[in-house]
Amino acid sequence: MTTRNWAEPYKIKMVELIKMTSREDRLNAIREAGYNTFLLRSEDVYIDLLTDSGVGAMSDRQWAGMMMGDEAYAGSRNFYRLRDTVKEYYSYEYTVPCHQGRGAENILSQCLIKPGEYVPGNMYFTTTRLHQELAGATFVDVIIDEAHDAESDHPFKGNVDFDKLDTLVAEVGAERIPYVCMATCVNMAGGQPISMANLKQLRAWCDKHGIMLVHDMTRVAENAHFIQRREDGYRDKSIKEIVYEICSLTDAATMSSKKDAMVNIGGFLAMNDAKFYEKACSLVVVYEGLHTYGGMAGRDMEALAIGITESVQDDHIHARVGQVQYLGRRLRESGIPIVNPIGGHAVFLNATKMLPDIPQEQFPAQALAAALYVESGVRSMERGIVSAGRDKETGENHKPKLELVRLTIPRRVYTQAHMDVTVDAVREVVRRRDEIKGLRFTYEPAMLRFFQARFEQIG
Ligand SMILES: *Cc1c(COP(=O)(O)O)cnc(C)c1O
C-alpha cells in the first residue's frame, strides 16, 4: 500500500488456539501425508496459508445473520435476501445458489457447452477447466504472455490478449465458442487483476462476435482494489462502484463465496438471461438442490448476503490486500524470488528460482511446500506442474511456465506477527535449500491430482 496505512478495520472478539509442534512432529506428519500439504491434518499446522477458501473469519454481523436462518425447503427468506443483494451489488438479475463455486461451474458448463466447442479464458482455473472439459469443451488460454512471466511487473497481468482470441475465432469459428470465461484477479496467475479498459474491450469483442461473456467473480472486490489504485479515472470511485461496473460488463457469473464474501461454504451462478436461468434451475435440482437453496442452508445464504456487503467496503479490502502486500514486500526485501507484482490474495514463491537443481519433473514446488512446513509449521500449496495435471488427449504432463508455491492469506484471520514468522520461515528454508530433494508420485489420482496425490523423496 502506498498512500495509506492498511491497519485492520476490526478488532478481535474471539480467538481459536493453535497447537505448537516440533520439527520431529512435522517430519513425521509430512511423511504420513505423502509430501502433500493437502493431506496434512489441520491440527498439525501452525499458520495455515494453504488457501483463502472458506477459511475467512466471519464478522459478528454474519454470525448474527446465521441465527436468522429460515430453513424452509422452498422459498427461504434468506434466498430472497441473497438474490436482492447479488442484484444490488453485482448487477445480475437471477441468482441460483450452489454449494460452492464448482457446483456453479458444473451447471454453467452443462447449460452452455456442446461437445466439441472451445472456451477461451484468461488462464485456466483447476475446477473451472475440468467442468468445461467434462462438458466436452477444450479450454484455450488467451491471457497476455506477461501473465506467464514471473518477472514481468505488468500492472494488469489478468488482461486478455485479443490476438489470441482472434486467432481462435479464425481457427474454429465464433459459432463454436459458447462463451468467454473471464476471471477477475486471476488466481492461477498469482492473483493478478484485469483492467477495466481491457474488460470493456472484451465486452465489445464479445458483442461483435455474438459470444457470451461469463465472469468468474470469485475475487472481484480484490480486482476492484487494483483498478482503483492503478487505472486512470478510478481513484475516486468506491470499491462498491467498481465492482458493480465490472459485473455490469458481463452476462453471467460463477461465484465461490468462500473467498471474497467471507463465508465458510457457498457459492452461486448468476445471470441476466431468463432462458439461461430457466435451464440452470432445471439442472440445479439434479446436482445441488432446489433453486431457492442449491445446497446451502438458509443461515449460510444470510451470512453470504451480509458478507457481500462487507466485502466491498473500502477499508476492508485495503486492509485485506494491504496485508498480502506487506508479506510480499518483506519477502522481496529478503531477496526471496516471488511473482511480481504481488497479487491480491496470495504471495507466490518462484520455486524454479529457489530450487534450480530440481527439474520440473521432480516437482520442485511440491518439495518446497513440504520443506516450508517441516521448517516452520506454515502450510502452503503447490501451483505448478502437479496442479496443471495432464493433457486430456496425450496424457502428457502439462508443463506450466510457472512453478510456484502459494502462500495464501485467509481474510481477517492472521496478524502481522504471523506474517513476520512466515517470512523468517521462508528465509530459513532458502538457507537450507541444499537439503531439499525432488519427489516422485507414489499415487496419482486421475482428476485434480494435486488434492490427493502422494509422493516420496528421490534419493
Ligand atoms: C476457488 C475457486 C473456484 C472454485 O470454487 P470452489 O468454491 O472451491 O468450488 C473457481 N474459480 C476460482 C478463481 C477460484 O479461486
3-state secondary structure 182-207: EECCEHHHCCECCCHHHHHHHHHHHH
Please give the model's pTM, rounded to 2 decimal places: 0.94
Distance 105 CA to ligand 1 centre (A): 9
Burial group, residue 356, by CB count within 10 angstroms (0-12, 13-18, 19+): exposed
d(CA 343, CA 240): 20
* pLDDT value for 4: 57
Active site residues: 73, 125-126, 216, 259, 383, 450
CA dist., res. 213 & res. 104, Å (int): 15
Residue type present at position 410? P
Selection from 345, 108, 291 nearest residue 216 by Cα: 108
Question: How far is 136 from 110, CA to CA, in rounded Å?
Answer: 9
Over residues 131-147, mean pLDDT:
97
Q: Report CA dihedral (318, 324, 325, 328) to the nearest 10 degrees.
A: 180
Q: Could you tell me if 70 and 241 are in contact, meaning their C-beta atoms sit under 8 angstroms apart? A: no
Q: Considering 311, 345, 376, which residue would you say is the last residue of a domain?
A: 311
What's the whole-number mean pLDDT along residues 395-413? 94
Residue 41 lies in a domain: yes
Assess if residue 425 is contained within a domain. yes
Indicate if 70 and 190 belong to the same structural domain.
yes
Mean pLDDT along residues 67-76? 98
- Boundary of a domain, candidates 293, 311, 329: 311
Q: Are residues 376 and 292 in the same domain?
A: no
Q: How many angstroms separate the CA atoms of 407 and 323, rounded?
A: 12
pLDDT confidence band for 361 (50 / 70 / 90)? very high
Look up cell 439442472; give the residue: 283
Residue 13 lies in a domain: no
Report whether pLDDT(259) > 90: yes
Selection from 158, 230, 233 nearest residue 198 by Cα: 158
Q: What is the CATH number of the domain that holds 111?
A: 3.40.640.10
Question: Hey, is 256 helix, strand or coil?
Answer: strand
Residue 167 lies inside a defined structural domain of this protein: yes
State the Cα–Cα distance between residues 413 and 288, nearest whole angstrom: 30
Half-sphere exposure of 65 (CA within 13 A, CB side): 25
Q: Which percentage of the chain shows pLDDT scores above 90? A: 94
User: In this predicted structure, what is the pLDDT of residue 294?
Assistant: 97
Taking a C-beta distance cutoff of 8 angstroms, is the pair 193, 234 a contact? no
Beta strands in 78-221 (DSSP E): 94-98, 118-121, 138-141, 179-183, 212-216
Question: Within its chain, how far is the Cα of 383 from the centroid?
Answer: 12
pLDDT band, residue 2 (cuts 50/70/90)? very low
Q: Which residue's alpha carbon is nearest to atom 1 within ligand 1?
A: 256
Q: What is the CATH number of the domain that holds 352?
A: 3.90.1150.10
How many Å lie between the centroid of ligand 1 and the Cα of residue 134?
17
Which three-class secondary structure state does DSSP give residue 26? helix
In what helix (H) or strand (E) does residue 386 lie, and over which residues does it extend?
helix 385-388
Residue 18 lies in a domain: no
Length of the chain: 459
Q: What's the sign of the alpha-carbon dihedral 433, 387, 56, 42?
A: negative
Between CA 64 and CA 130, with CA 304 as vertex, the angle to 5 degrees is 150
Do 245 and 202 fall within a single domain? yes
Is the per-residue pLDDT at 45 higher than 60? yes
Q: Domain check: are 237 and 335 in the same one?
A: no
Question: Looking at residue 1, what is its pLDDT?
Answer: 43
What is the H or E stretch that residue 226 is in? helix 220-230
- Would you say 37 and 373 are in contact if contact means Cβ atoms under 8 Å apart? yes
> 256 with 327, same domain?
no
One domain for residues 299 and 361? no
How does 190-224 read in b/e, with b if 16+ C-beta sit within 10 Å?
bbbbbbbebbeebbebbeeeebbbbbbbbbbbbbb
What separation in Å is there between the alpha carbon of 333 and the centre of ligand 1?
A: 31
Question: Are both 71 and 169 inside the same structural domain?
Answer: yes
Question: Residue 22 above 70 pLDDT?
Answer: yes
Do 265 and 364 share a structural domain?
Answer: no
Tell whether 380 and 355 lie within a shared domain.
yes
Summarize the confidence of residues 269-277 as an average pLDDT.
98
Q: Which of 280, 263, 261 is nearest to 271 (CA)?
A: 280
| 150 and 277, same domain (yes or no) | yes
Residue 116: left (phi > 0), alpha (psi -120 to 50), or beta? left
Atom of ligand 1 nearest to the CA of 267: 7
Least Cα distance to 188 among 341, 450, 407, 402 occurs for 402
What's the average model confidence in pLDDT over 374-393? 93
| Cβ(138)–Cβ(178) below 8 Å | no
* Domain-located, residue 3: no
Task: From 261, 286, 311, give the residue that closes a domain.
Answer: 311
How many CA atoms lie less than 13 Å away from 372 in the CB half-sphere? 34
- Strands (DSSP E) contained in 84-198 are 94-98, 118-121, 138-141, 179-183
Residue 5 located in a structural domain? no
Residue labelled with grid coordinates 460452492:
100
Kind of pairing between the strands at 346-350 and 404-408? antiparallel
Number of domains into which the chain is organized = 2
Q: Does 15 fall in a domain?
A: no
Do 41 and 137 reside in the same domain of the chain? no
Output the pLDDT for position 188.
84
**Residue of 98, 127, 219 with the most ligand 1 atoms within 8 Å of its CB, for mutation:** 127
Pairing of strands 138-141, 118-121: parallel
Q: Does position 3 have pLDDT exceeding 80, yes or no? A: no
Domain that holds residue 284: 60-311
Using CB distances shorter than 6 Å, the residues near ligand 1 are 53, 100-102, 125, 127-128, 183, 187, 216, 218, 256, 258-259, 267
Residues 303 and 320 in one domain: no
Return the DSSP state at 143. B
